[in-house]
Amino acid sequence: MTKDPITSIVACNLCTGCGACAGSFPDFIKMVDDPENGRRPVVKQTRAGHEASRAAVATCAGASTNWTELPIRDEIDAAWGPVLSAWEGWATDPETRYRGSSGGAVTALSQFALSNGLASGVAHVAARSDDPRLNETVISRDAEGLRRAPGSRYAQASPAEAIHEISAGTEPVVLVGKPCDVASIHKATAADASLAARIPLTIAIFCAGAPTLVATNALLDRLSVPKNARLTELRYRGEGWPGLMQAVWQDNTGQEHTSEGISYAEGWGKILQSSRRWRCRVCADHTGAFADISVGDPWHAPPKGDTEAGQSLIVARTARGRAFIEAAMEAGFLVAEKRSRDVIAQAQPNLSATNGAVWGRRIAMRVLGLSPPEDRGQRLFSLWLGLPNKQKLQSVLGTWKRVLRDRLWRDVAITERVQ
């Protein structure tokens, strides 16, 4: 039997691990945690499984997106996706603000969605109780559920798996995820009006890439967590801005220990980010162009210390997103001040350079016979032209070097099979 489309997307390094395919066809496709390759779908190798795989391609933003569907008005929108309005702010509840990755805006918006009747649940990721190194998709239906998962989770996650539970139910659910997750939800709801009616709002969290389990284990080694310990908590962000990376574990007598805390700069910059999969390195949307609302760090106004209360950059992508943010402020869930529409470039200059390099990386892939993602209508070439000449050259030559070093021409193979 020849490869089915989803398996081929995984094999070609195009899969983002969002989980939309598995959420759409849970009887035939499931997500598995591969330590080296990340969280990836595995298709049941039957005729019915292949049929499900062919249908699931319509939900896959890893292989392609269509920016021509977005209302691009000017150069700001062309670079970042629609930016109707932007604010800097934080959750009014002190605990929510303190425990959030920056200012707790995502949690505050989620709480408002539950309190004002927009939704009966919020789909998001949380640490697995049996193994906090891994994530699971959950639907929280009250503030207590949302408090389970404050702060960023720098590990593989598949929140679009929630499609299955949302479709099977009758209640509206807000979905929170990475830009790639929300892009797949956008494709899924465009193809299914009943699903669209059950997802009244999407919130994307700015993302620079998802580390693998190998990187998480390296982080635990840095935190001096014993190999035979029972890990009970792993915090990547939160409890201040940006917060410390810290672990809690139990030894074989049941005594609990807390590791030292290391800075975000050390944990992300020196340990986690190097393990991002190739698909993350050729991603052209790190800020959630297809969401109603996107939220990230306002690094142009850096925190005074690792554990100071933080603030969030909040971007309205759609009219309903803008109305929702304004209503949350009026209801007292958020405190925020308006910012100029070009604030993303100010707050995330590293992502400006990353977006510019993507065209060079993808053209190098084509020359080497590899399949890059297809993002119709996105002006990647003009972003690449805006780079200094040295960075233009690095984007191409660096890709050739990585392809040879990592042997990226080889198919990604996930060994687990669906029975």
Q: Are residues 207 and 353 part of one domain?
A: no
Q: Are residues 389 and 303 part of one domain?
A: no
Q: Distance between CA 253 and CA 118 in Å, rounded?
A: 47
How many Cβ atoms sit within 10 Å of the Cβ of residue 196? 14
Q: To the nearest 10°, the Cα dihedral for 133, 139, 140, 141?
A: -170
Q: What domain range includes position 294? A: 81-211+275-347
Q: For residue 67, is it within any domain?
A: no
Q: For residue 129, is it within any domain?
A: yes
Asked if 131 and 215 count as a contact pair (C-beta separation under 8 A), the reply is no
How deeply is 252 buried, as exposed, middle or buried, from its count of CB atoms within 10 A (0-12, 13-18, 19+)? Answer: exposed
Whats the size of the chain, residue-wise? 419
Direct distance between the N- and C-terminal alpha carbons of the chain, in angstroms, rounded to an integer: 16
Q: Distance between CA 61 and CA 185 in Å, rounded?
A: 9
Q: For residue 98, is it within any domain?
A: yes
Which of residues 347, 369, 390 is at a domain's end?
347
The whole-number pLDDT of residue 319 equals 98
Q: Are residues 290 and 377 part of one domain?
A: no
The whole-number pLDDT of residue 419 equals 41
Q: Are residues 125 and 184 part of one domain?
A: yes
Q: What SS3 string covers the chain? A: CCCCHHHHHHHCCCCCCCCHHHHHCCCCEEEEEECCCEEEEEECCCHHHHHHHHHHHHHCCCCEEEHHHCCCCCHHHHHHCCCCEEEEEEECCHHHHHHCCCCCHHHHHHHHHHHCCCCCEEEEEEEECCEEEEEEEEEECCHHHHCCCCCCCCCCCCHHHHHHHHHHCCCCEEEEECHHHHHHHHHHHHHCHHHHHHCCCEEEECCCCCCCHHHHHHHHHHCCCCCCCEEEEEECCECCEEEEEEEEEECCCCCEEECCCEEHHHHHHHHHHHHCCHHHHCCCCCCCCCCCEEEECCCCCCCCCCEECCCEEEEECCHHHHHHHHHHHHCCCEEEEEECCCHHHHHCHHHHHHHHHHHHHHHHHHHCCCCCCEEECCCHHHHHHCCCHHHHHHHHHHHHHHHHHHCCCCCCCCCCCCC
Q: For residue 61, is it within any domain?
A: no
Instruction: Give residue for tokens 């929702």.
Output: 324
The whole-number pLDDT of residue 416 equals 64
Q: In this predicted model, what pLDDT tens digit does every residue of 59-81 receive, in sequence order?
A: 999 999 999 999 999 999 999 99
Tokens standing for 283?
Answer: 């991603």
Q: For residue 76, is it within any domain?
A: no
Q: For residue 169, is it within any domain?
A: yes
Q: For residue 90, is it within any domain?
A: yes
Q: For residue 341, is it within any domain?
A: yes
Q: Are residues 336 and 309 part of one domain?
A: yes
Q: Are residues 394 and 282 part of one domain?
A: no
Asked if 201 and 320 count as a contact pair (C-beta separation under 8 A), the reply is yes
Which of residues 298, 324, 347 is at a domain's end?
347
Identify the CATH number of the domain in which residue 332 sits.
3.40.640
Q: Are residues 296 and 176 part of one domain?
A: yes
Q: In this predicted model, what pLDDT tens digit does every residue of 336-355 receive, in sequence order?
A: 999 999 999 999 988 888 99
What phi and psi values does residue 219 have, to the nearest 5 degrees?
-65, -45
Tokens standing for 384?
Answer: 């690449």
Which of residues 324, 347, 370 is at a domain's end?
347
Q: Are residues 394 and 326 part of one domain?
A: no
Q: Distance between CA 124 and CA 254 in Å, rounded?
A: 31
Tokens standing for 298?
Answer: 């306002």
The whole-number pLDDT of residue 84 equals 98
**Residue ranges of the chain whose pLDDT lies below 70:** 1, 416-419
Q: Are residues 337 and 357 part of one domain?
A: no
Q: How many distinct structural domains can be found in the chain?
A: 2
The whole-number pLDDT of residue 212 equals 92
Q: Are residues 360 and 328 part of one domain?
A: no
Q: Are residues 291 and 341 part of one domain?
A: yes
Q: Are residues 299 and 198 part of one domain?
A: yes
The whole-number pLDDT of residue 302 equals 80
Q: In this predicted model, what pLDDT tens digit does every residue of 117-126 receive, in sequence order?
A: 999 999 999 9
- The residues, ordered by sequence, that sit 6+ positions from 273 with a Cβ below 8 Å of its Cβ are 208, 209, 211
